[in-house]
Amino acid sequence: GSFKEEMFKVLKIAVHCTYKLPALRPTMREVVQMMMDADPCSGDFGAVEKEKLHGIHMSG
């Protein structure tokens, strides 16, 4: 998609993360999945070294 479309998707995720009721906010795992689904080909998020992520606990 275009840069504008991608920015809209990220903004939409940000809005979900700021819902007033915490129970309605997505988990970190869901946020990561939404960002990867937004456009998995445009960035190289998948290339993040596993060692850097090792030990990070995502609840949810």
Q: What gap in Å lies between CA 13 and CA 20, rounded to an integer? A: 14
- pTM of the shown model: 0.58
State residue 57 phi and psi, 5-degree precision: -100, 125
**For residues 2 and 16, what is the distance between their CA atoms, to the nearest angstrom?**
22
Please give the Cα distance from 25 to 19 (Å, whole number): 6
pLDDT of residue 51: 52
Say how far apart CA 17 and CA 43 lie, in whole Å.
21
pLDDT in tens for each of the 60 residues of the chain?
688 888 899 999 999 999 999 999 999 999 999 988 876 555 555 555 555 555 556 555
